[in-house]
Chains A and B, each alone.
Chain A
Amino acid sequence: MIRLAKLCFIVAVLMAVTSCSSLRLDGVDFGWPVESVVTVSGTNMIEDIRYSVKAEVAPLAQEEFQDSTALRGARLRLLRSSEGYYFLTGVKFKHVYVFSPGPSSLTLYRAIPVSDGGLRNPALNQRPPYVELLDGDALRTLLTSDDIVEAKK
């Protein structure tokens, strides 16, 4: 009997804990309607005023160009997908970088290779559930946060 009471108590506590931690809002659309074109400052910072995003891109420059100062003055294309990932690329980039947001940070989720010679005139469009990458008239690619879904040249 006592064992049964203990079991009931433990189950009740577990249910309470589970119900507290499982509060979840589904069907959230994080997508921006249009990409932001941001210019890298002298201190390697980018800032989007409309969505209040600010980040340091020196590690990205190091990763893509092996030079932490390579992006100074460059214009980067930043778009948040409907899932909530940040897609980032720019001229001469060979990859589209997909970041997942965390507490005061953006963590690289995927670096999707898109061009061997580097992009010349890239643009990101929101095409739910995908993100479209254009490179002038030369390339049209649909991306997910993991990979390329469809590429047309």
Chain B
Amino acid sequence: MKNFKKHKEIRKKLKSAIKKGTLGLIDIGSSKIVCIIIKFSEINKKPKNLDQIDENNRVAYRVVGVATKKSVGIKKGEIIIAEEVEKTIRLVVQQSQKMAASIIDEVVITFSGGEPISKNLYQEIRTQNQSVSSEDINNLLSKYNFQIYPENREIMHAMPINFSLDEKTGLTDPRGLVGNILGLDINLVTIKKNVLETIHQCLQNCQLSLAGIFFSPYISAKSSLVEDELKLGAICIDMGAGTTGISIFYNHQLIFASNIRFGSENITSDIMQAFQLSFNEAERIKTLHGGLVVTNLDDNELIELSFSDANKEYYNYERPFISRAELISVIRPRCEEIIEEIQFSLDKAGLEQLSSKRIVFTGGGSQLPGLYELASEYFGARIRIGRPMRVQGLPQALQGSQFSAIIGLAIEISNLQDEVWDFEIPTNLEPGQRLRSAVNWLKENW
């Protein structure tokens, strides 16, 4: 039985930071590191002018400091050069602190690396009395065996997603309901332990303490999906630079999360190789002229290449122009590959029976023109290119879909999802119970 000591500590820090009033949010992405500082106003008071979904218990806050920097030393969402990442985090924190004119000690991190694995656990118990009490829920949680396999993994999320009572399912809060058998689905997201500890170490070197860590596909879905989509179920695809995250929501709960190690950075490197350009130039052409659907007009549309880089002698001088059709022909296969990968991992998750086949694309890669057409061709579902919701105080420059993760983090912090470690799990069982559990264990193993 795991007692989630570390997770509880981190959660306690987050609660105290919210009480103190300021909290830093950092998105460690493959292409950029974003830090925003949010200031909380009165807790548990409904905000007057907030362009967010109204919900009880939502904490009012506003963004007071923002800083974005291109990330160095991060590959596929994982830190590969700790020193450079520390430097960037320091820079970003410093700038946002200057803007906010206040200091942050606790930061909440979101990132997409670490080879996440999402799996669902199910257990059920008999209720002690007629109606379900919170004690029953705690007892139920204590029945779970959060043994992680293999050993080098750490639990990132363990969210109770669905309570069932007898034949009824889809309950969010079963307390007070009358029934005999109480069941619970838990979605467990685990990532590599060393990846998590590297982030811990980096933050410690920046004099910051970790107050929470969230998986970025889950977080960006929180900002991109609208209320109906969350309720009826939707797939959110976060196309980042290094990785593409997939998260599936149903009934306001994350039921599956995964990660593909392909991203829009791969598209850029394809352009780099095809036209012999520098990375920055390829990125510029991709963002300004990139697309996925070829039209007749594109053959005539010539894109001027600029060789303003220092090492321009190395690159091809003789072709200062390429046509847009050529560019699209380079981008499209890679995009198709990514979409195929998404499809593959969705099939693997076995969620064909999801009632509402709604797919929402978000992240920086989703801004590629023509993605809508391409994706609807493949998925045959309702596609939407999502943009993150508005958060009070966020500057206009940070409202693009590439910032969906950091905005989602702010939204998540204001309305925290319950995790397993938020419950009081009874660790020391009664002597009789302990004996019974030992007998059960013997029964199961022989």
A is bound by B: no
Using a CB–CB distance below 8 Å, which chain B residues touch chain A? none
Using a CB–CB distance below 8 Å, which chain A residues touch chain B? none
